[in-house]
Each structure stands twice: as C-alpha cells, then as structure tokens.
C-alpha cells in the first residue's frame, strides 16, 4: 500500500501574517520575559514584599528630591 | 582626537606591561584553581603592584628616568603580548558541592536561577554607558583639586627630581604612594591625561574584581550584575574621571576580600592567603585608612576562629601568611615614613578624631560647608540615611554612594541566609563603624561598595520569590535608579566631549575649565628656571616652576611667627629661598574660600612688586583673582 503524504495547501496571506505574528511574539517573549527557571524557594508573603517596595519607593523619592535641591 | 588616541595607547601599554609581569608571578605561586577572568584580574593586579614597588625602589636609588621607564614598559608590554598569545590561562577546577546546612541556607551557586536576559544584559549595558561617560571625562585634562594638589603633583616632582624626594608640598598623610607610582608611570609614558585614564582603568578593574568576589557566592551570571552595580555607584563613577586615591584603594580591598573569602570561607587552599597578603600589603601602601579595613577583616577572622575551633590551625597559619606577606609588600613605605617623621603611623592621625590640633588640609575649602555630624550612637544608627540623603555632611557631594544600597539592603531581612555573605557584611559593618568614629568622609566609604553590591544582588535574587506585581514594581524602581545613574555619568562629562573627541585642544579646555592654568602659563612665560613660588593656591600641577604650598610651609616652619613688622614678610621668605608669592582670592560669594592670613601679610608689605594678575571662574561658580608678586 502506498502512503501518500497529505497535500498541504499553499499558504494564504492570512496564514503568513499569523505565522509571522507568532514568531514575533515568541521573539519578544524570549527577549523580555523571564526564562523558565528552577524553583527559587518558598514565596515571600505579599505584605512583606509590598512593604519592601514601599520602602524602596520612599527612599528613592526622598533621594531624588534631595539631589534636586 | 590623536592626543586621546595616544593616551589610550599609553594605557594599553601599561596594562600589557602589568600583565607581562603579573602573569608569571601568578604562575610562580603554583597551581591555584581559578577561572579565566579571575586569573586575568589577579595577573593585572599583581603586575600593577610589582610595577609600583619597582618604581618606588628606582626612586629610592635616584633612577626615576622617563626614558628608562618607557623602555622597560615596552619590553614588558611585548612580554605581556607573548603571555596572552602563547600561554593559556589556568582552567577552572571543579569544586565539589558542599551540603546545605539547612533549607534556609543557599550554599551552591548553581542552585540559584540565572537572571532574566533583559535584567542581566540591561545591567551591563547601563554599566557600559556609565563607563563610557566616565571615559570621556577621563580623556579631558585633569582639573580636580585633589589631583592637581598632590596625586599628580607629587609624581611630577619625583620625575623632575629623578628620585622619590620628600616634596615640600608633601602632606603629612601623603607618605603611602603606591597609587601615585602608577600615576608616575603614566606621566612618564604620556602625561596627565594618561594618569587620569589609570583611574578609569582601576574602576573597570574594580568592577571585574567585584565579579571575582561575587562569583563563588551568587554564581557567574549574577556576579556580573554585582560588577555592574559597583560601576553605577555615583561616587565610583566620578572617581573614575579623576586621578585620586580612593578607587585604587577600593580595588585593592576588594581583592583582599576575594582572596580571603576563598581561603577562609571556601577553603580553596593556602595559596589564596598569599594573594590576600599581597593585596592587603598593597592596600596598606595606598592609604592609611586601609588599616581600618585590615582591622575589620582581622576582627571577622577572630570571630570565625572562635566559632570554628576545629579549623584553628589553618586559620592561624593563614593569618601568619597574610601578615608576613603584607608586611613585606608594604614595609618600604612605612620605613620611609618612619625615616622622615620619626615614626610611621602618626601622620595618619592628622585630621582625624585623634588629632585635636589638626588644621584644615587645604586653604581651599568647599563652599558647601562641612558641618560634622555628632558622633554618638544615635548618629551611627542614622548614618546610613544621612550618608545617602545628605552626603555633604560627610565631606561634600562629590562621592555619593547613591540610593541603591539604602533602598535594597533592608531586603536582607526577607532573604534567606547565603553562606559566606555574612563574613563580607561583617567586614563592611566593622569598617563602617570605624569610619564613622575616626574620619567620616564619604570618599573613604568606597572600600565597602563591593561587598554591599554582592548583598544587593543577593536581595535581588530573593526578589524573584515576590508576588509578580511586587516583583515588577521593585524591578521598575531599581531599573529607574540604575538608568538615572548611567545617564548622570554621561551627563557629568558633557563639558569634556569636545576635547575627548578632538574638537577642542587641551590648552583651550584648560583655559576654559582650570582656574589656575592662566596663572601657570603666565608664570611659565615671565619667570626663569631659578624662580621659587610660595603659593596660596593648592592647584600646583600646571606650574613648571618650583612651587610650594603656603599652608604646609607655614605648618612646618611657623614662619608667620617671625613677622613682627610688615616688611619682615619679604625678608623671612627671601631667607627661606623664595622669589615670588602667588596670591588667590575668591571675589564671588559662591565657590572656594581661601584662608586670608597669607594675603593679608603680603598686602601689608609694600615692597612686593606685582608681576601679573589673572581672573578665572572655577567649577563652583566662584570668581578667582590670581596675583603673582615678586619679592624684593
């Protein structure tokens, strides 16, 4: 029995755009987003994390104002 | 542009010559497991230290000739090229992973996830931008007060005298001159711009040394982020544009930590103690404040000794090795200081909390005004805030540490314990306490920048455990801080772009930006080789004639006490061998302030003849009036 490979229809304009769009998204994801990582440890509580962020913002703001003086 | 290219060529020759000497020295120590970057950094450091000692010995025997230095540099540079081409750098050896003591300890750097591509590359792109800005600033002729006062003035005098002479402008604390030997090397090969480029090169080496320090703790990828953080510290970046002493000291203390950590914490062999001793000796040859750093390391070492009695023998042997090697490396300078002053340590106390009778270092004081903070325990607790937000209270605004350390370091309370980081931070904490109570000047805090950068990176690794939105918010703030630092580094050098790229001659740049240059050119034109000038200004480098700082001359000779009548002024100075006096005053409200005692004495004596006068604006907005007067 002879197996015949399925016929692949020619790529239409919409398919080409969709393929390029998928390639672009993959490129952006690889460049800007975090790589899949090994587990980094237990997560930190949200309130502790936001307290740290608040301190960081406060210090940066005060420093910025002092430098502009 | 050609002048800038020649200066860069001189620096390249110096680096090759250092590598040509340092690489065989490193090989002679025997087999030490280290990766390529570590080998290159240590080869360059060993070479620079060896060259500094060799130039000092040449100066001690009166053989400091530029031609000799140039020939030796070219020969060593060719050998350095041969070393690079023919001999591969030592390959990394495998280090067996150690067991983790608890689930909260991170012991194996490979267990840490690498940074995301944009974070890792972004930090280094910003560091490259900052380094490029600093390079453009370093390619302009020197105009920093400290550089012109003694960091470049002393090497210039040594080359003119062909010996390590005791300069009349030698500040009592300026007897440790290892870093000035590197500037002397660059002056011999090219000139003051090459000497300033030495400082820039030391900054780049500091970044690489921080990578070497951080790699065993946080892994290769994150270690590069630590190096980038160091270069983005505003104080470090500014020091890279001027010939000073702090960044060289910071490089050497970072190398001490890197070697000491490998020997003591990571237990990678006794040969690392030898490298730590060499770096410690070099640091002790650079500045007296290195003693505080060595004391901090010794204290942490003693703490480790108490906690690990089973390793007592190795630790004591290591302490003996480091001490012996450090004494051999630095002994020349302390022996020289002892010969000059009668003892080698007291000069270090001038201007510190131990010297109640100290006078200001220079009559040129900053217009920002120094109000020393009270040195109590409460002041110590709030010192990190004040050093960050109000650096002018600790010297001036020229060497700020930036906001990153104060902002990120509290994150250590949320982070897990990283094995070995506590030792580094212990050294930084002890050094900081000593700094605060002995001599709290911002520039002297730079030696702890590298261990703090490692801590910042560790906090950043732990930030990956934050909820996503908090992680992105923290990332955005840190990226903003680093980005502004990089842009500021480029912006602060904008006055130098034209001269760096050849659009302005160096003479035109100096006429525009250096207030003493016009007076120096005039003095060179009208005065003969026998002229000796007593100067109220401390910016002496561009004067070709023999020139002495009046404040140091007055402190040494108390000549003003011999003046009873106005006419005694010229008589007393003539007897001392001077032919002219240089007066300077600031006619504006902003800018430097000068001690007026000297000018009052000179103006009271009618016999002085005005030779020339010159007006110039300084960098702080002052309007300086120079007068060159001839003694009768």
Average pLDDT over residues B492-513: 91
**How far B267 CA sits from the closest chain A CA (Å)?**
27
- Under the banding of pLDDT at 50, 70 and 90, the label for residue B325 is very high
Token couple for B339: 């010969």
CB contact under 8 Å between B410 and A52, yes or no, is yes
Q: Given this model, what pLDDT does residue B298 score?
A: 93
B461 CB neighbours in chain A (<8 A) are 40
Position with higher pLDDT, B600 vs B46: B46
Position with higher pLDDT, B85 vs B477: B477
Average pLDDT over residues B183-189: 96
Q: Which of B16-20, B98-102, B151-155 has the lowest mean pLDDT?
A: B98-102
Q: How far is CA B477 from CA B232, B481, B494, in A?
A: 15, 6, 26
Interface A-B, measured as beta-carbon pairs within 8 A, has a size of 78
Q: Is A47 on the interface with B (CB under 8 A)?
A: no
The helix (H) or strand (E) run that includes residue B614 is strand B609-617
Ramachandran angles phi, psi of B587, nearest 5°: -90, -10
- Under the banding of pLDDT at 50, 70 and 90, the label for residue A15 is low
Q: Given this model, what pLDDT does residue B96 score?
A: 33
Ramachandran angles phi, psi of B628, nearest 5°: -105, 120
Average pLDDT, chain A: 73
- Under the banding of pLDDT at 50, 70 and 90, the label for residue A39 is very low
Q: Hunting for tokens 């009559």 — which residue is that?
A: B363
Of A34, A48, A57, the CB nearest to B414: A48
**Cβ(A59)–Cβ(B406) below 8 Å:** yes
A36 CB neighbours in chain B (<8 A) are none
- Under the banding of pLDDT at 50, 70 and 90, the label for residue A14 is low
Count of CB atoms situated within 10 Å of the CB of B265 = 17
| Residues B384-431 pLDDT 10s | 998 888 888 887 666 788 899 999 999 999 998 888 899 999 999 999
Count CA atoms within 13 Å of residue A17 on its CB side.
3
- Under the banding of pLDDT at 50, 70 and 90, the label for residue B175 is confident
Q: Given this model, what pLDDT does residue B229 score?
A: 95
CB contact under 8 Å between B477 and A53, yes or no, is yes
pTM equals 0.87
| Residues B334-388 pLDDT 10s | 888 887 766 656 555 555 555 543 444 444 444 444 445 556 788 888 889 988 8
Q: Given this model, what pLDDT does residue B174 score?
A: 62
Position with higher pLDDT, A21 vs B316: B316
Average pLDDT, chain B: 85
Of B117, B390, B470, the CB nearest to A53: B470
Count of CB atoms situated within 10 Å of the CB of B60 = 14
Of A40, A42, A60, the CB nearest to B407: A60
**How far A61 CA sits from the closest chain B CA (Å)?**
10
Give contacts of A 17-46 with B, CB under 8 A: 30-35, 37-38, 40-44, 46
**Cβ(B271)–Cβ(B29) below 8 Å:** yes
What percentage of chain B has pLDDT greater than the value 90? 50
B414 CB neighbours in chain A (<8 A) are 44, 48-49, 52
For chain A, the maximum distance between any two Cα atoms, rounded to a whole number of angstroms, is 86
pLDDT score of B27 more than 80 = yes
Q: Which of B239-248, B276-285, B617-626 has the lowest mean pLDDT?
A: B617-626
Q: Which of A5-9, B73-77, B620-624 has the lowest mean pLDDT?
A: A5-9
CB contact under 8 Å between A44 and B414, yes or no, is yes
Q: Given this model, what pLDDT does residue B345 score?
A: 63
B389 CB neighbours in chain A (<8 A) are 62-63, 66
Position with higher pLDDT, B541 vs B169: B541
Q: How far is CA B266 from CA B98, B224, B423, B607, in A?
A: 10, 20, 11, 71
Position with higher pLDDT, B64 vs B267: B64
Of A34, A40, A50, the CB nearest to B470: A50
- Under the banding of pLDDT at 50, 70 and 90, the label for residue A54 is very high
Among chain A residues, CA nearest to B415:
A44
Q: Given this model, what pLDDT does residue A3 score?
A: 55
> DSSP string covering B61-117, please?
TT---HHHHHHHHHHHHHHHHHHHHHSPPPPPPP-PPPPPSSTTEE--GGGSPPPPH
Q: Given this model, what pLDDT does residue B455 score?
A: 95
Average pLDDT over residues B553-579: 86
> DSSP string covering B340-406, please?
HHSSSSGGGGTTSTT-TTPPPS-S-B-TT---PPP-SHHHHHHHHHHHHH-GGGGS-TTS---SHHH
- Under the banding of pLDDT at 50, 70 and 90, the label for residue A11 is low
DSSP H stretches of helix in B162-289? 178-189, 192-218, 220-231, 234-239, 246-264, 271-284
Q: Is A62 on the interface with B (CB under 8 A)?
A: yes
Question: Rounded CA gap, B215 and B238, in Å?
Answer: 26
- Under the banding of pLDDT at 50, 70 and 90, the label for residue B529 is confident
pLDDT score of B84 more than 90 = no
- Under the banding of pLDDT at 50, 70 and 90, the label for residue B99 is very low
Q: Given this model, what pLDDT does residue A7 score?
A: 60
Q: Given this model, what pLDDT does residue B351 score?
A: 52
Q: Given this model, what pLDDT does residue B91 score?
A: 43
pLDDT score of B320 more than 70 = yes
Q: How many residues does chain B have?
A: 632
Question: Rounded CA gap, B120 and B235, in Å?
Answer: 23
What percentage of chain B has pLDDT greater than the value 70? 88
């Amino acid at each position: 029995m002879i197996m015949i490979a399925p016929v692949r229809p020619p790529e239409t304009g919409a398919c080409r755009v969709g393929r390029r769009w998928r390639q672009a998204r993959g490129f952006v994801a690889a460049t800007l987003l975090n790589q899949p990582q090994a587990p980094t440890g237990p997560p930190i509580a949200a309130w502790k994390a936001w307290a740290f962020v608040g301190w960081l913002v406060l210090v940066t703001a005060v420093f910025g104002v002092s430098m502009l003086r | 542009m050609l002048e800038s290219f020649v200066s860069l060529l001189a620096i390249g020759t110096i680096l090759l010559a250092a590598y040509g000497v340092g690489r065989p020295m490193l090989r002679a120590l025997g087999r030490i497991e280290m990766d390529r970057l570590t080998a290159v950094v240590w080869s360059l450091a060993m070479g620079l230290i060896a060259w500094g000692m060799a130039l000092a010995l040449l100066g001690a025997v009166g053989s400091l000739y530029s031609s000799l230095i140039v020939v030796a540099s070219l020969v060593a540079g060719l050998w350095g090229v041969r070393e690079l081409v023919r001999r591969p750098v030592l390959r990394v050896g495998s280090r067996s992973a150690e067991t983790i003591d608890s689930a909260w300890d991170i012991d194996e750097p490979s267990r840490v996830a690498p940074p995301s591509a944009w974070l890792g590359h972004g930090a280094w792109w910003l560091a490259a931008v900052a380094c490029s800005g600093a390079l453009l600033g370093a390619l302009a002729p020197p105009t920093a007060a400290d550089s012109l006062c003694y960091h470049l003035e002393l090497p210039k005098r040594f080359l003119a005298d062909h010996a390590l002479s005791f300069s009349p402008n030698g500040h009592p604390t300026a007897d440790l001159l290892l870093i000035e030997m590197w500037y002397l090397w660059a002056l011999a090969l090219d000139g003051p711009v090459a000497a300033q480029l030495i400082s820039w090169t030391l900054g780049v080496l500091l970044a690489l040394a921080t990578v070497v320090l951080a790699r065993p703790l946080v892994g290769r990828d994150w270690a590069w982020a630590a190096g980038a953080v160091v270069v983005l510290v505003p104080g470090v970046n500014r020091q890279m544009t001027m010939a000073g002493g702090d960044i060289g000291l910071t490089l050497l203390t970072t190398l001490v930590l890197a070697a000491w950590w490998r020997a003591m914490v990571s237990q990678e062999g006794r040969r690392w103690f030898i490298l730590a001793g060499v770096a410690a000796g070099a640091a002790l040859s650079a500045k007296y404040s290195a003693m505080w750093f060595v004391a901090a390391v010794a204290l942490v070492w003693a703490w480790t000794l108490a906690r690990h009695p089973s390793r007592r023998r190795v630790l004591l042997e290591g302490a003996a090795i480091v001490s012996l090697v450090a004494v051999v490396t630095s002994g020349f300078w302390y022996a020289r200081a002892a010969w000059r002053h009668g003892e080698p340590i007291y000069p270090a106390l001038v201007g510190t909390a131990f010297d109640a009778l100290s006078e200001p270092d220079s009559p040129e004081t900053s217009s920002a005004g120094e109000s020393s903070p009270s040195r109590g325990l409460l002041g110590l607790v709030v010192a990190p805030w004040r050093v960050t937000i109000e650096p002018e209270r600790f010297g001036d605004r020229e060497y700020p540490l930036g906001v990153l350390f104060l902002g990120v370091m509290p994150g250590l309370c949320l982070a897990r314990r990283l094995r070995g980081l506590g030792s580094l931070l212990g050294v930084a904490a002890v050094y900081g306490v000593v700094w605060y109570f002995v001599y709290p000047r911002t520039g002297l805090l730079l030696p702890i920048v590298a261990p703090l950068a490692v801590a910042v990176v560790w906090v950043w690794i732990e930030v990956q455990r934050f909820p996503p939105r908090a992680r992105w918010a923290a990332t955005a703030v840190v990226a903003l801080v680093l980005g502004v630092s990089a842009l500021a580094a480029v912006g602060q050098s904008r006055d130098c772009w034209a001269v760096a790229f050849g659009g302005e001659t160096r003479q035109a740049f100096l006429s525009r930006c250096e207030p003493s240059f016009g007076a120096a050119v005039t003095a060179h034109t009208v005065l003969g080789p026998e002229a000796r000038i007593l100067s109220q200004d401390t910016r002496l480098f561009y004067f070709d004639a023999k020139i002495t700082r009046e404040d140091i001359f007055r402190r040494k000779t108390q000549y003003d006490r011999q003046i009873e009548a106005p006419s005694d002024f010229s008589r007393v100075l003539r007897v001392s061998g001077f032919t002219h006096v240089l007066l300077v005053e600031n006619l504006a409200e902003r800018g430097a302030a000068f001690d007026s005692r000297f000018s009052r004495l000179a103006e009271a004596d009618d016999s002085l003849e005005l030779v020339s006068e010159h007006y110039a604006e300084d960098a702080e907005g002052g309007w300086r009036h120079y007068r060159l007067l001839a003694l009768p």
